[in-house]
Amino acid sequence: MPSEERRPLLSSNDCQQSFGVTVDELSRLVDPKNPELLKQLGGTEKICQKLRVDPRVGLSADEGAERSTDKPFAQRQAVFGRNVLPEAKSKSFLELLWAAYNDKTLIMLTIASIVSLAVGIWEDYSPQHPEDEPRVGWYVHSYHLLRKVAGGFWGVTETKFNVSPISRVEGTAILVAVLAVIFTNAINDYQKEAQFKKLNAKKEDRVVKVLRAGKEQQISVYDLNVGDIIDLEPGDIIPVDGLFLKGHNVACDESSATGESDTMKKQTGDKGDCFILSGSKVLEGVGRAVVIGVGENSFFGKTMMSMRGTETEGTPLQVKLDTLAEQIAQLGFAAAITMLLTLVIKYFVTAALAPQFPAGAEIAAAMISIVIQAITIIVVAVPEGLPMAVTMALAFATTQMLKDNNLVRVLAACETMGNATAICSDKTGTLTQNKMTVAEGTLAEEVFDTPEQAKDWASRVDKKVLPLLKEAVCVNSTAFEGKDENGKIDFVGSKTECALLGFTKVLGCDYETIRHDSKTVKVFPFASKRKTMTTIVQTLESSAATKSQSDYRVHVKGASEIVLESCTHYLDSRGHVKKLTKESEVKWGGVISAYANKALRTIAIAYRDISADQLSNVSNDEPPLEDLVLIGIVGIMDPLRPGVVESVTAFRQAGVFVRMITGDNINTAKAIARNAGILTKGGLALTGPELREMSLEEQRKVIPRLQVLARSSPTDKTIVVTRLQEQDQVVGMTGDGTNDGPALKLADVGFSMGIAGTEVAKEASDIILMDDNFNSILKALLWGRAVNDGVRKFLTFQLTVNIAAVVLSFISAVTSENSESVLSAVQLLWVNLIMDTLAALALATEPPSDELLSRKPISKYAHLINFQMAKMILGQAIFQIAVNLCVIYLGDKMFHLSQSPYDQAVLRTMVFNVFVFLQVFNEINCRRIDSALNVFKNIFNNWIFLAVQVVVVLGQFMIVTFGGIAFKTVPLTPTQWLITVAIGSLSIPVGTIIRLLPDCGCQRRFSEEAKPLATYSRMSWEGAIGDVRNELRVYSLLRRSHNKHRGTRARSSSATGTPRINAAHNYGALHQNANGGNRFAALVQNAQNFQRAAQNAAQNQEAQN
């Protein structure tokens, strides 16, 4: 949401002078609803006058632009505000720093380091301090540190280096390292928050229909002003407060605003409830309202402002990782306490056996050193980077998904989509381009086969037919002419209605003139339950069919077979109304089937003339759909989107079962599903009514093979989702209508249409397809799998470092003479930075590749760590511990180093360098968590990973070369650098060996793949077996027929030699004319068909494997 600066509104007197009504008065109209105040202000008409708006025209775009520098509606916005909530106060960088530091282990480490620093300073100035040793305060520590850095740069000789028993700068170095950690985390959180802020602004923006300067147009919701005239349509979520002006059967769901579950009917003026609450949903009807409250002054705005600051729940993956992090932290605490107790016992035992017991200051310093080591072990062991990794992965993925036209509303949906096993997709606009045109038609019994022939059709029908058709299409529609997203003049609204209006334009029709001349009485908008739209208009005398029925005309359009069932008559080419007989009904049914088999969407257009008395009996809820006169049927072409066939194939390869659920005719749905590759051999195609009539057990039985559901209702979508989820499927569902809300909410991932979807559908969904494109769902699957994989890669890397660092520190500290770990506290903090923030940034932001589609979905019950990961974690950890221990205890001989303090410092630096470069190369190794051997594949596609690796290597070089006494390092020679890097690089070949180790059946035993309900190969087998079963049934009938025929021929004096096979007639044309001479040939053909089907099934099985 764009930011809104807080500007002081004009004073109440200025408001009165400008508009005659105040913000407070308008606000008190709706919160709560106040009919008495409405009367005091003069009613709706008087308020429109005070707001300086004509309800028939709307606001003018140049209002108040007296000077060229003035913005439109500047004065109106200064008085009533903009429809934008003030930007939520985000955390400052200092607050983010404090949040990053607000960690118990970091606080404990800080305290210990300060105590260490204080002891060092006290030791310098204590009476026991040796006279011949210089005193070094904290300021001298800094100088000493810089001197060591400079010495490291220019070269350090053995005589210049002196190792103090207790590093006098360790406390300072730890504090600097802690600051580095919290600064890195704070910067990362700041960038993440900025990404989510941009995402939320995009998520909340949408377009609304308004009346301005007498024309309907679409504007951003942020551009609405008090006084605007907005359109109300089913599925809208009203973004502002308003007063109802006019409309037909408008009913709103205000439960989200008031808590009342009753549907609220809206009426004008003092007839009833005329108050429109922001945040409420339009359930049915169409109408208009005047805006009286926007932004923080609206009912919804006040609610949102009061809710700010509430914490959001973690995603399922975050919850899993939090649990795992707690378990690992407990193990880390146990290791730290064990190490603490062991080192303390060892120290006092050693001190007791020494000739002279150490002084108090020395004991205190030793204890502080041991405590620091223990706390550092906790810092390293606690995987605080795990939750951060999933947050970072989601932040990166959702930002990138926005570029792929996936607007993620619910973060959890991103990771859930990665485990999807079933996709239930709409047809129109999702699988198809939603660029509808009338391709063919049969109107008044005259046919046109191309849009170009439409004009010729008009010349072949009576002159009374064309005006009737134009009125039927133009009046019974909510579409209008406006500008598309590219600024091009085009029809806006339902794509079906746009196609029909485009058809009338070909016929030379001006829809605006027809609408202006007609007087609309009642409108029944399209409802998925009825699958029709109805408009009742007052009829002109000249256009009435008969004088007795000249009062009103009912126009109906909708699903062809449903409208046809309501028709009792039809219109012929001469404009005569004829009775719809059985023969003519079959003929019109054939027209529907012919168009549907060409994958055309069939729409029937009908009308009926009624009298005033009949109109008075018409319900406000149900349109009069009886005794209609059929004008004709048109076939609307909506071609498949480019790439849909490839996407369906990719979903199949990825183990995701695609189903098409549509409101279209069954033949149309099957034709398009075959073209898209959705309907395959052995798959089922049913209609919504057929599915609803089945028992629960029957539904569960057919759902696995169901690929197409036609003439479906929103209830059918809910049934399909429920049955799939009962069988542990992770379901993605698309929807665009208001009534799709329950199914979208019920699905594991709900996809709504950004272009054609209603606001209710968008609100119920998890992801908005901004281009309404099926291919975008495949991209969402890829990013979902990339998020899950990214977190698992990071988990594999971090747990390896955790185990190696903790075990190595413990063993080296316990076995060393001075009870110090080979990795100092400052070095471990650097390692912690590598394995937490930087590793999360590198591994959790890996972009997806098409390889992710070559594996099956992971079960939603699968553990975070699979067998392959566990094998890699344990194998690499054991290898790293073994290598580092060899360097520690055999390094003197391996690298020809003496026991001098300098050579021992070199050895410790080499151990540190080896350990870090083992992690650097293991991070590359962890890019693959499967059994693939090429870990460098697509590495250059992730610049973040490469940048992090460069930063770590440069940081390590600086620490080793210039870290000096702070990091307890000395500069290494080029040879020593090559040796340590070479040892570190062994992580990659070791990873290859671990991958090649036999699984001994464990991989299969601990398989995490989701169990598919049905496979395409199995369906092919079942289809082939079903064909053979039908053929054998036919053969059995043929035999019985032949035996019966032989008996008849023996008794008959005039045998004809033709067998009676009426019983087999219904089983196919292959056997309709079967006789004694060709039955064997038919059986041979059946056998060949079976063999072909078996081969196809075997090939499919091979492809699946």
Give the residue numbers annotated as catalytic, written as ranges. Answer: 426
Phi, psi of 1016 (to 5 degrees): -65, -35
Q: How far is CA 927 from CA 11, 506, 797, 840, 987, in A?
A: 63, 58, 9, 12, 13
Residue 102 to residue 94: CA distance in whole angstroms = 12
Question: Are the C-beta atoms of 647 and 732 separated by less than 8 Å?
Answer: no
Burial class (CB in 10 A: 0-12, 13-18, 19+), 825: buried
- H helices present in 461-581, as ranges: 465-475, 495-506, 511-517, 560-566
Closest CA relative to residue 426, chosen from 776, 645, 736, 739: 736
CB within 8 Å of 935: residues ≥ 6 apart: 924, 925, 927, 928, 988, 991
Contact 556, 606 (CB under 8 A): yes
The amino acid occupying position 978 is L
Quickly tell me which residue has 């009917």 as its tokens. Answer: 265
Write b or e for each residue in 964-996: b if 16 or more Cβ atoms lie within 10 A of its Cβ, otherwise e.
Answer: bbbbbbbbbeeebbebbbebbbbbeebbeebbe
Tell which residue, 968, 873, 854, 989, has the closest CA to residue 913.
968
d(Cα 1038, Cα 394) in Å, to the nearest integer?
64
Instruction: Take residue 246 and report the two structure tokens written for it.
Output: 């006019």
Number of H helices, E strands in the chain: 41, 26
Nearest to 411 by CA among 205, 192, 262: 192
Nearest CA to 666 out of 597, 617, 605 is that of: 597
Decide if 273 contacts 257 (C-beta within 8 A).
no
Residue type, 870: A
Alpha-carbon distance of 506 to 453, in angstroms, equals: 10
Residue owning tokens 């109304």:
577
Phi, psi for 319 (deg, rounded to 5): -65, -45
- Could you tell me the end-to-end alpha-carbon distance of the chain, in angstroms, rounded to an integer? 48
Q: What is the DSSP string of 956-1004?
A: HHHHHHH-HHHHT--PPPHHHHHHHHHHHHTHHHHHHHHHHS--TTHHH
Helix (H, G, I), strand (E, B) or coil at 662: coil
- HSE-CB at 384 with a 13 A cutoff on CA atoms is 17
